[in-house]
Structure 1
């Protein structure tokens, strides 16, 4: 709806704190541990008086995240054309490179959240909160490679060690005034947050067979500073029993500075020297100001509507500070600095027709914007791979979509059915393509670039449905299914990249109370294969299980949680371009098993949401 961001996302932590209505003290302690290492503790406390409500959350977490990857890349001869129009065939240094990657992520940190709410009256209050999170982590990636010419030519080993320190804090102030018991209210919010990230990455690559030679050794120093401000005000005015008017403003202001400094090891001097060609700092500003209004009414006994309009202005600015001749050559015609301003109207309309008391049909329309994020438009190429780099594109414009949907809902005593068909037309949609750069590493491997760009159009047509079945108080089953056709149209550097593809995904959730009052929850997700003009993505699926039981007269809960039970949540894809092919598999995190114990003091049990995974809920039944 227009009341929220036309993009549907926000770049601020957006902490939501639950107001306690019970006078006195209440709280909880949650302890959890798992394999691979995933241990921590969270303490919540709340003290409510007639005029004040004090609350705090303190958490500690230590976690490892082992992952892995496999990449099989084949390279082909290509044709180069000089300034005089003469063609020449260039053979790659290696025809095939196979990589095995082992990834070990380690992270440790704590967070604290404190706040207080003051009640001017029973209908008016102000809340102030402070949040701080500090963490440090080490990611170690070991890459074992086999490089082929006509046969196996050599083997290499590359190690990337990334040490990262993060500090984030946020202050928020919220005001609520309920004018009467009829629903008229005014809310206002202010949030200010800062984040600082300091990263040192050491990159070391050598030939291990048949000789032992150093290929490359580098130190990469990276810092990222981010500042976010949120201003928001909303007014709600009920008009009679069946209509309501809303209006408001939302402003988000983001500043982000990213700095890269690279050092290369020089064997002649026996030490590291700065590499100015691969060092830079990039400043990114994103300001969004939006005003909205919406009105809903019921027409007779059967028909109701809700219509709204949002006026949104987006300003994006990017400034790259570098003296790199290499970057100018690498980027080609890409403008390294940009300043863009967009003004758009985003209407929303929904109609509901009540066929019967438990049956209705809905018709909806909305227009949305998808803004490019900082890393998608940062023109400096990534440095964690010498041969396959990602480069942002400052020429990216926001994508706009118009979506229509027709829905049907039917409720029975124990069964609920929802379904819809939808059509989405997006212009300037984002697409990532891979292309050769014409540049080579010191050992003769051509550098391949992945870059996002604005495709002409993207049309998605589909149907979805879900069923919720509650046969009794001890069982609940929910299943959903979505099938859609994806059709894109556009070209990049003279190459047509349009494609048509059909895919689908499904979810299943269940909760069953077993004997001895043990709750058993199941969550299954499946996404079917999909493809674009260059890449085919294979299907992916995962199964999560959780068991929990209340103890200590209901004040305590013990839980066992298994995520990705069969260790199958792996991304597999095949990319085919005129200059290379890539067959790869990547697993971000292996199967996780976690046990937890929660004890509540004067506090009722809170039910977790399916798929929940955060610092406060780790180990709870999902």
Structure 2
């Protein structure tokens, strides 16, 4: 990366850094004094009340405490004036201004029950609160597991893709793809909804454009209930972005420098006063990437002409920039009704240069050397607007919520291919692809408490998604030097899907046994209009295309059971039925063209596959450790696999062996496994977070290609594989920590594919500075440069060995500055409160 480029990037972001850091000030610390106090009402002490002291002179002097069972608390405060805020279950919020002069006891605070008037000597000053960091990064609930990335040092200054690499049950492949328990059919949600932030088809570029510093937590839902949409057979990853509920003005800013060259600057700002909260999250970054591919194909003599083998080496280097900004507000109209609105804009651009060198050897000792140079430019612009209304009918938990999301995503891609064969001009391709995605999501959810431990949930959801594709491929060759359109790969297409969903869910508790049953009905309508610009005389290598209309209606039941042995010790059993709808990209014939020797063909006849998912788990959570073993079984029908075959085609007038890859519905996939997630605070200075997943897989089925008229291609395969991850955190003192993370992915083998094992090691270090307001972090991704995919594909005509490395070893140095106004300690929840909505759009509380 040139020096001028670095300067340019920083100039673009300098105003944001100056604005943010300018909002904070560095002030001298004062000598603190110890005070004690008590919280009570007219009948006596009030236990477990949250007591917050907010300094009127300097927000850094603010502090908070949780009263004990007798209402007593203790704090160390600097002398000065404070606004005191006290909150307790079933009591009205209490505020008062006092002055701290010296150490000792202060007068008790007397609070009153909800519905009564407050004391006459209180003021209406809003207390300032900040949620304290959780000590446990991993938490198990009835229908999901929650991962808190705040203590994840190795992904500091990185992206959502880096954070996902550390999440239990989740694996990020060398190509940026995401899978859960070995299955790649993962559904992504942002704050409970599909989002334009993730772009079209949830590509790896979209994952890299969401900064890690904007992520509050990630919910891993391996077996979603009926309240969630039914798509995503592997499960759901719900990314909860930061939306501060802190009073006053709060925020943080993070800047990052790294190699391969990268720069990032991101900020999270919020302001709250009274019933209004306004927040702004945004940032941008520059990143360089290097992708390496090697491919060796050995053909069987006599089956594919005279070609013996083909060896290819490819390296692609790219430079990308991304910017995103989200602003929104939350307003409490009254005690029962609130509204929220937000808007998001995201831009992404990428410039790439690469080459592919190919050597072809023939049985007659003839060799052909082909060099292909690729240049590319892609841009993406996304908008999203969200609006929601929440209304509480009473204080018992009866509520209704309505939300609407409108999204638009535009993607433009240009690729230029210049190919020479034996040092003579052979081929020139110019490819222009344009895709526009428009999405509408509307939701209505209703919650009705029934008795002390039961509740009924019901809702409706509408999803309308439309993709417009425009793909134009031009070609000029040595035998035909005029630039012309390739009709086979030039097309327009419209893909539209509409889903109407209804759900009903009941949950309750009998003694120590909690249960939740639900049923979801989804009516799906899919329309595909495809127009191929094939010219007369051009050969069509796929079957003739007809426009398609598909309608299907499915019921999706779910059952969740929990048995509580003790407070933090329980068994969990659940079942759900899920659907895997093919991505629109897979259903568009000839969707891409960037290599005439390796072609990906879409399949307009792809159908959904279905999975029945069972889990039996156990969870125990103590002060120093949490362990959650889960035995799972998944049975999938009409499974989507990719077939690979070789076909002789005319390229520039010469017969050439071309490798085709195509997704098809074939057979069944059964998987039974044991996954163990755990966290352990071994000592005050050493912590472990681990995940081990071992499973046995069995794939059956075959496929007969009606175009090639080939014999059935088998997909049978059985075997055992595993994945594991261990993160060790060493805390040398209160300000300095180190982190080492290791990952191992075991081999997998079927009748047509042999995937090799893979491992990687990451390292991170973190140092707090500026009295705890600043953090300096350093990390190395893939310390030994071993994270690469190695795979062998078998076919009746050839064997293909592939090596692919998405990114080489990387370094990053980041600095985070936080400015805040005190900390809030969470109050204990009422035992009868089973209707709290933790986060996201599609959430339910555990029983």
Relative to the length of structure 2, the TM-score reads 0.66
- Asked if the contact 1:440–1:447 (Cα under 8 Å) also holds between the matched residues in 2, the reply is no
List per-residue Cα deviations over 1:4-31 (Å, max 9, x = no partner).
Answer: 1112499x99985544333321222211
Q: Does 1:274 align with 2:485?
A: yes
From the superposition, tell whether residues 464 and 20 of structure 1 become closer, same or farther in structure 2 (CA, over 3 Å): closer
Q: CA RMSD in A?
A: 2.5
Alignment match, 1:137: 350
Alignment check: 8 A CA contact 1:170 1:193 kept:
yes
| 1:532 corresponds to 2:745 | no
Within 5 A, what are the aligned runs for 1:50-199?
50-77=274-301, 91-92=305-306, 94-150=307-363, 151=365, 153-199=367-413
Q: Which runs of 5+ in 2 are unaligned?
A: 1-224, 705-711, 825-847
Q: 1:484 aligns with which of 691, 695, 719?
A: 695
* Alignment partner of 2:464 out of 250, 253, 260: 253
Contact 1:574/1:583, CA 8 A, preserved across alignment = yes
* Distance (Å, rounded) in 2 between the aligned partners of 1:396 and 1:269: 36
User: 1:413 Cα deviation (Å)?
Assistant: 4.5
- CA gap 1:54/1:282 in 2 versus in 1, 3 angstroms: same
Query: Equivalents in 2 of 1:581, 1:565: separation in Å?
Result: 32
Distance 1:159 1:38, change over 3 A: same
Q: Give secondary structure in 2 for the equivalent of 1:278.
A: coil
Aligned to 1:204: 418
In the alignment, what sits opposite 2:561? 351
Greater RCO between the two (CA within 8 Å, min separation 6)? 2
Counterpart for residue 330 of structure 1: 541
Counterparts of 1:397 and 1:549 in 2: how far apart (Å)? 52
Query: For 2:538 and 2:742, how far apart are their aligned partners in 1?
Result: 45
Residue number in structure 2 paired with 1:36: 260
Point out the more displaced range, 371-380 or 351-360.
351-360
User: What is residue 455 of structure 2 aligned with on the other side?
Assistant: 244
Which of 576, 581, 605 matches 1:371? 581
Q: 1:26 to 1:257 in 2, by over 3 A?
A: same
Secondary structure in 2 matching 1:445: strand
Structure 1 or 2: more strand by fraction: 1
Q: Deviations over 1:153-178 (max 9, x none)?
A: 13221111111111111111122223
User: Aligned residue for 1:317?
Assistant: 527
Preserved CA contact (<8 Å) 1:78 1:579: no
Distance in 2 (CA, whole Å) between partners of 1:433 and 1:572 is 18
**Corresponding residue of 1:445:** 656
- CA–CA distance in structure 1, aligned partners of residues 732 and 522 of structure 2: 51
Hey, what's the Cα distance between the residues in 1 that align with 2:367 and 2:693? 48
**Contact kept in structure 2, 1:490 and 1:498, CA below 8 Å:** yes
Out of 719, 725, 728, the position equivalent to 1:507 is 725
Given the superposition, is the C-alpha separation of residues 600 and 430 from structure 1 closer, same or farther in structure 2, using an over 3 Å criterion?
same
Structure 1 residue matching 2:605: 3-state secondary structure: coil
Measured in 1, the distance between the counterparts of 2:238 and 2:510 equals 36
Local SS of the residue matching 2:595: coil
Report the Cα offset of residue 280 of structure 1.
0.6
SS at match of 2:230: coil
Task: Return closer, same or farther for 1:587/1:152 CA change in 2, 3 Å cut-off.
Answer: farther
The CA distance in 2 between the partners of 1:437 and 1:479, in whole Å, is 46
**Equivalent of 2:428, from 217, 229, 239?**
217
- Is the CA contact 1:76–1:91 (under 8 Å) kept in the aligned structure 2? no
Matched, 1:6 2:230: yes
Q: Could you tell which deviates more after superposition, 523-532 or 290-299?
A: 523-532
Compared CA separation, residues 257 and 9, structure 1 to 2 (3 A): farther
Residue 247 of structure 2 corresponds to residue 27 of structure 1: no
Rounded Cα–Cα distance in structure 2 between residues aligned with 1:549 and 1:9: 41
Report if the CA contact (8 A) 1:327-1:380 is conserved. no
Q: CA deviation at 1:520?
A: 2.1
Q: Is contact 2:248–2:821 with CA below 8 Å preserved after alignment?
A: no
Q: Does 1:572 align with 2:572?
A: no
Tell me if the contact between 1:46 and 1:54 (Cα under 8 Å) persists in the aligned partners.
yes
Residues 60-92 of structure 1, C-alpha deviations (whole Å, 9 max, x = no match) = 21111112111111123456xxxxxxxxxx514
Q: Equivalent residue for 2:803?
A: 585
Shift of 1:349: 0.5
* CA deviation map 1:407-459 (0-9, x unaligned): 22334553332212222111101111112334343333212211111112111
Q: Return the alpha-carbon distance in structure 2 between the equivalents of residues 114 and 402 of structure 1.
A: 40
Cα separation, partners in 2 of 1:537 and 1:190, compared to 1, 3 Å:
same
Match of 2:812 among 579, 594, 598: 594
- 2:636 aligned to which of 426, 432, 444: 426
Q: Which moved more, 1:514-523 or 1:282-291?
A: 514-523
Contact between 2:329 and 2:341, CA under 8 Å: does it hold in 1?
Answer: yes
> What's the CA shift for 1:513?
1.3
Give the Cα separation in 2 of the matches to 1:380 and 1:160: 20
**Matches of residues 603-614 of structure 1 in structure 2 within 5 Å?**
none
Aligned pair in 2 of structure 1 residues 485, 437: CA closer, same or farther (>3 Å)? Answer: same
Secondary structure, in 3 states, of the residue corresponding to 2:257? strand
- Separation in 1 of the partners of 2:570 and 2:270? 42
Q: Name which of structure 1's ranges 288-297 and 415-424 shifts more when overlaid on structure 2.
A: 415-424
| SS of the residue 1:553 aligns to | helix
Q: TM-score, normalised by structure 1?
A: 0.90
Taking the aligned partners of 1:381 and 1:189, their CA distance within structure 2 comes to: 34
| Deviation, structure 1 residue 184 | 2.8
Q: How many positions carry a matched residue from both structures?
A: 590
1:591/1:156 CA distance change after superposition, 3 Å: same
Whole-angstrom CA distance in 1 between matches of 2:463 and 2:582: 15
> Relative to 1, partners in 2 of residues 1:44 and 1:303: Cα closer, same or farther, differing over 3 Å?
closer
Kept in 2, the 8 Å contact 1:222–1:260? The answer is yes
Ranges in structure 1 where 5+ consecutive residues have no aligned partner? 80-89, 607-622
3-state DSSP class of the match of 2:594?
coil
Deviations 1:80-139 (A, max 9, x none): xxxxxxxxxx514x3111111111021013222122222202442211111111222112
